[in-house]
Amino acid sequence: MQEKPDNFSVVIFGANSDLASRKLFPSLFELAQWGHWPEEYRIIGVGRADLSHDEFRAQVFEKLITHSSGAFLDEPHFKAFSRRLFYVRLDLTDSEGYNDLYRELMYFSPDVGLAEHILFYLSTPPDLAPIIVKNLDHAGLGEKKDSRGGWRKIIVEKPYGTNLQTARELNVAIGEVFSEDRIFRIDHYLGKEPVQNIMVFRFSNGIFEPLWTRHYIANVEITIAEDFGIRDRGAFYEEAGLLRDIMQNHALQLLAAVAMEPPVDLSADSVRDEKAKLLRSIRPFLPSDAEESIVLGQYEGYRSEKNVAPNSTVETFAAVKFYVDNWRWKDVPFFIKAGKNLAETVTKIVITFKCPPQNYFGPAESCSYIANQVIFCIQPDETIALRFGAKRPGESVITDPVYMKFDYKTSFTEAGMTPYHRLLLDAINGDQMNFIRQDSVEYSWAIVDAIREAVKGTPPESYPIHSRGPESAVRIYS
Ligand code: BG6
């Protein structure tokens, strides 16, 4: 286990949000039980509801009953945790109200470091972020004006802006109050163990990386499929759509991890330099590329979901062919497919290698049948498989694909943390490697803006629920 961090306070804006209930409070509670937190820490929930500290504690207890793993959730453990919980009622747009937050933070117990080390967590709609940081600054809680000699950091949830322009504005607004090395833009995909392992797999093994180039790789396919719809997030989806919800962040981050160059070292900035460089190398989309490279879809029945317009043209599916214009990847297609209400829930990356120069075994098409592949399954299984051809037993020489597989579950027994456990710990400890830097966020938005612009005016194609998406999605593979 890492050394314990300094005593600290966490302030959660949006203490009643779905994210706080499902992920943040359970993760903070479990990290406490696993012994990751220091002697003293405080968790201050901020929200609009008029609650006493005790009422807030009771609400958190209810959330934990529903959403935590259940381990440790008994009276003594919760009691020990609940004495760390506090509540401040605040209208987030009212700058005067932040003085109450200031008092709660500064005058509670000034001698144990709780006021020196503060993490702000914005679990709030994106348009509130600039207002919150401005008000924090006004109340003397911003990082740049801090003279107490500790740290003040901010975690900002996705969606980080809604396009390049709003993301830039947000970067400027937050950058006025917090330095870049105190800003943690979270994408929970970067907290997933198999995603963190992509870099380790690539750069700690001698046998794969020499082949990881356009000379040996035919294509790369990234799939983020879900067998459920937008659930109760109609209003959000109408604003976002899949390109903004999943392509701009999770999908492009997977692409960056699988295609980036080796970093100079393992510092957060070296790794993020390479990811930014990769995103910058993605070939810009032009309207003339749309037909060949982009297919958007909408599942049947989407327009009848709650808070969705009856004539909505918002996409719930996207299949996009990318090219990375650099020496390693020139002309290798990267296919990304992501969608709601598809046949199965799976996130995976498949690297397909070129066929051998001469095919002795069967007809030409048998090569793609057995083509070598490295398959990273991120979820629900956490595996890495290597596919190759083997002789089917018998007199004839027939080649079949077979797999060598590594499975986290059978190879490691350590109790797994979830992405939010890992990323909260990283933020408290100041490790930014798995958070998105300003430049990457902007490059990703430029890509998604260009895709949206290229398909402007073309309605998404309808696809049946639990299918593979619109039938025409195959055209990007040709
Ligand atoms: C979220 C998206 O960021 O990621 C959701 O807003 C999506 O639409 C979710 O369902 C997927 O996360 P995971 O970890 O379940 O794959």
Q: What is the pLDDT of residues 375-419, one digit of tens each?
A: 999 999 999 999 999 999 999 888 899 999 999 988 987 767 899
User: Any idea how long the chain is?
Assistant: 478
Domain end: 135, 157, 179, which one? 157
Q: List strand residue ranges (DSSP E) for 14-144, in order.
A: 41-47, 85-89, 117-122
Please indicate whether residue 226, judged by its CB atom, sits closer than 6 Å to ligand 1: yes
Q: 386 and 266 in one domain?
A: yes
Question: Are both 400 and 351 inside the same structural domain?
Answer: yes
Q: Does residue 171 sit within a domain?
A: no
Residue 183, classed as helix, strand or coil, is strand
Q: What is the CATH classification number for the domain harbouring 125?
A: 3.40.50.720
Instruction: Tell me if 174 is assigned to some domain.
Output: no
CA distance 184 to 153: 8
- Residue 15 CA, ligand 1 centroid: distance in Å: 20
Coil, helix or strand at residue 84: coil
The answer as to whether 433 is a domain residue is: yes
* Cα(129)–Cα(184) distance, integer angstroms: 13
Number of separate domains in the chain? 2
Q: Are strands 294-299 and 317-323 parallel, antiparallel or unpaired?
A: antiparallel
Q: Do 128 and 270 reside in the same domain of the chain?
A: no
User: CA gyration radius for the chain?
Assistant: 24
Candidate of 185, 189, 377 to mutate for ligand 1, largest count of ligand atoms within 8 Å of Cβ: 189
- 213 and 149 belong to one structural domain: no
Distance 230 CA to ligand 1 centre (A): 10
Of 133, 157, 181, the position where a domain reaches its end is 157
Find residue 282's DSSP bridge partners: 324
Beta strands in 253-367 (DSSP E): 294-299, 317-323, 333-339, 346-353
User: Could you give the residue numbers annotated as active site?
Assistant: 250
Same domain, 90 and 146: yes
Per-residue pLDDT of the chain (478 residues), as tens digits, is 678 888 999 999 999 999 999 999 999 999 999 999 999 999 999 999 999 999 999 999 999 988 888 677 888 889 999 999 999 999 999 999 999 999 999 988 767 889 999 999 999 988 899 999 999 999 999 999 888 889 999 999 998 999 999 999 999 999 999 999 999 999 999 999 999 999 999 999 999 999 999 999 999 999 999 999 999 999 999 999 999 999 999 999 999 999 999 999 999 999 999 999 999 999 999 999 899 999 999 999 999 999 999 999 999 999 999 999 999 999 999 999 999 999 999 999 999 999 988 878 777 667 878 899 999 999 999 999 999 999 999 998 888 999 999 999 889 877 678 999 999 999 999 999 999 999 999 999 999 999 999 999 999 999 999 999 999 999 999 7
Q: Are residues 70 and 196 in the same domain?
A: no
Tokens linked to 44: 């201050």
Distance from C-alpha of 145 to C-alpha of 134, rounded to nearest angstrom: 12
- What six digits make up the tokens of 2? 């890492």
Helices and strands counted in the chain (H then E): 16, 15
Q: E strands within 90-216?
A: 117-122, 151-156, 183-185
- Same structural domain for residues 153 and 254? no
Closest CA to 359 of 369, 351, 373: 369
Kindly state whether residue 381 falls inside one of the protein's structural domains: yes
Q: Give all strands of the β-sheet with 151-156 in edge-to-edge order.
A: 85-89, 41-47, 8-13, 117-122, 151-156, 183-185
Q: Which of 187, 190, 195, 226 to mutate to test the pocket of ligand 1 (most atoms within 8 A of CB)?
A: 226
Q: What is the pLDDT of residue 108?
A: 81
| pTM for this entry | 0.96
Residue-number span of the structural domain to which 441 is assigned: 190-477
Residue 165 maps to a domain: no
- Same domain for 140 and 243, yes or no, is no
Helix (H, G, I), strand (E, B), or coil: what is residue 449?
helix
Q: Is residue 185 part of a domain?
A: no
Domain match, 270 and 329 both: yes
Closest ligand 1 atom number to CA of residue 236: 6
Q: Domain holding 364: CATH number?
A: 3.30.360.10
245 lines ligand 1 (CB under 6 A): yes
- Domain assignment present for 109: yes
Same domain, 237 and 366: yes
Determine the pLDDT at residue 69: 80
Rounded to whole angstroms, the Cα distance separating 105 from 118 reads 9
Looking at the fold, whether 204 and 317 belong to one and the same domain comes out as yes
Residues 91, 210 within the same domain:
no
Position 1 scores a pLDDT of 67
The answer to the question of residue 219 being in a domain is yes
